[in-house]
Structure 1
Amino acid sequence: MRIVVLTGAGISAESGLRTFRAGDGLWEEHRLEDVATPEAYASDPSLVHRFYNARRSATSQAQPNAAHHALAALQQQHDLTLVTQNVDDLHERAGSTQLIHMHGELAQALCASCGHRWSSPAEMDVTTTCPSCRKATARPDIVWFGEMPYHMENIWKALENAEIFAAIGTSGQVYPAAGFVQHARRNGAHCIELNIDPTAVSRDFHEHIIGPATETVPEWVKEL
């Protein structure tokens, strides 16, 4: 069975990682847009580095939960393309392979000058240099607001071939990911939403499973 699963912040929330869209949406009195845009990095790179250093620290202390482990088990049984909006590594630590990080990874650094990528240190700052061009223009390898998500061609192709599309713990507010369900449905996939609450795109799914991911995802996987 060909399955595409999209995961969002909700699947990692039960591992203790804040969604950043919940509550007041602030981080140290800054809007997320003030620390997660190219303009923010150009204006105050030290602040942006502190934000992602804190996220790396939080991720290193978190552990994969039952939902992460269930999807890793599902990948062993079916042709599963796992796409995540998350920048943490909890899917990998649960055993998932060939994961598509459409918004980048905390564990990676990117040179803003030459485009070289490498494994990120636990902490980065404005003095962190690129190992390729030696310029101090290192940034987190994260897709910020206003930038194009990674691997879109592969994602669209997988959606076109999917028999099942499932969205887990994603808000349905951010495009292009919010449009995945429509694309999959047009191409004949059965579309399932697993979330703690209905979302902005709930009407586009054939089926809805409401509840925390650590409960709903293992049960859904067991039924498959």
Structure 2
Amino acid sequence: MSDRIVVLSGAGISAESGLATFRGSGGLWEGYDINEVASMHGWRKDPAGVLEFYNMRRRQIAKVEPNGAHKAIAELEEQFDVRVVTQNIDDLHERAGSTHVLHLHGELTKARSVKKEDLIVDIGYNDIRYGDLAEDGAQLRPHIVWFGEMVPMIPEAADIVATADILIVIGTSLVVYPAAGLVDYAPPGSDRYIVDPNKPELYNFDNWHHIQEKGVSGMQQLKQILTSN
């Protein structure tokens, strides 16, 4: 049986495809206050405006392509059992060819009822407009985990990380909880790699291999290491 690789990815892996990262811009995301477009407070205040913000994001991801880092992760499936746990709401992992992807914070290409969290529909890259309703008659909202909301996929993600023979962290500083706590579930004897051009902010860096590169070059380098062993 092939070793299992678990990849924890964040916004940095999609940055080289042209998608802006959520943080590192003074609380603004392409000119928008993230607290106004990623919270129930913002939704209640201006649902149409919030919908249009995510419509723009959806149009944006439709125009970009997976980069070499996404593709290198997908290509690892040729030799390994690969599971991706991503904080990203784009679909670039799937479009690169990864077949097991868990989205911690939801997916831009899906919508759900404001009343029933489990009433989820695929919308692709189409807009959601105010007045568009789910099957239960309630307004559709983006299938995104907003600030202050529970992250329902954390337990399943923890179970996946606990099966890792090899753990890869890429595109995330892992300082935001609850996602940051996932690394603690990796088995003690697992091999651990982090791809980051900067020094990682992990509280315990023991037993980690640091590839100090951006996502594309770093992930391609790591693929070479793993497939040549």
* TM-score w.r.t. length of structure 1: 0.91
Following superposition, the deviation at residue 69 of structure 1 comes to 0.6
The residue aligned with 2:126 is: 122
The residue aligned with 2:178 is: 176
Deviating 4+ runs (over 3 angstroms): 27-30, 202-205
For 1:161 and 1:169, how far apart are their aligned partners in 2? 21
> What secondary structure is seen at the aligned counterpart in 2 of 1:107?
strand
Following superposition, the deviation at residue 195 of structure 1 comes to 1.3
Q: Could you tell me which amino acid in structure 1 is paired with residue 148 of structure 2?
A: G
The residue aligned with 2:195 is: 194
For 1:65 and 1:212, how far apart are their aligned partners in 2? 12
Task: Tell me how large the CA RMSD over aligned residues is.
Answer: 1.7
Following superposition, the deviation at residue 172 of structure 1 comes to 1.5
Following superposition, the deviation at residue 13 of structure 1 comes to 0.2
> What secondary structure is seen at the aligned counterpart in 2 of 1:208?
strand
Q: Unmatched 5+ residue regions in structure 2?
A: none
Following superposition, the deviation at residue 177 of structure 1 comes to 1.4
Comparing 103-112 and 147-156, the one that deviates more: 147-156
- The structure-2 alpha-carbon separation of the partners of 1:7 and 1:125, relative to structure 1 and needing over 3 Å to count, comes to same
The residue aligned with 2:82 is: 80
The residue aligned with 1:221 is: 223
Specify which of 28, 44, 47 is matched with residue 46 of structure 2: 44
For 1:10 and 1:214, how far apart are their aligned partners in 2? 10
The residue aligned with 1:212 is: 214
Q: How many residues align?
A: 221
> What secondary structure is seen at the aligned counterpart in 1 of 2:162?
helix
For 2:186 and 2:193, how far apart are their aligned partners in 1? 11
Q: Unmatched 5+ residue regions in structure 1?
A: none
The residue aligned with 1:102 is: 104
For 2:204 and 2:155, how far apart are their aligned partners in 1? 25
Following superposition, the deviation at residue 133 of structure 1 comes to 1.3
For 1:223 and 1:92, how far apart are their aligned partners in 2? 23
Comparing 41-50 and 83-92, the one that deviates more: 41-50
Following superposition, the deviation at residue 22 of structure 1 comes to 2.5
* TM-score w.r.t. length of structure 2: 0.90
Identity in percent: 40
- Matched ranges for 1:91-170 at <5 A: 91-115=93-117, 116-120=119-123, 122-130=126-134, 132-135=135-138, 137-170=139-172
> What secondary structure is seen at the aligned counterpart in 2 of 1:22?
coil
Following superposition, the deviation at residue 202 of structure 1 comes to 6.1
For 1:60 and 1:37, how far apart are their aligned partners in 2? 24
1:84-109 CA distances to partner (integer Å, 9 max, x unpaired)?
Answer: 11110111111111211111100000
- Say if 1:165 and 1:192, in contact at 8 Å, map to a contact too: yes
Q: Could you tell me which amino acid in structure 2 is paired with residue 92 of structure 1?
A: E
- Say if 1:168 and 1:194, in contact at 8 Å, map to a contact too: yes
1:28-54 CA distances to partner (integer Å, 9 max, x unpaired)?
Answer: 654212210122212221221121111
For 2:109 and 2:13, how far apart are their aligned partners in 1? 19
Following superposition, the deviation at residue 189 of structure 1 comes to 2.0
The residue aligned with 1:89 is: 91
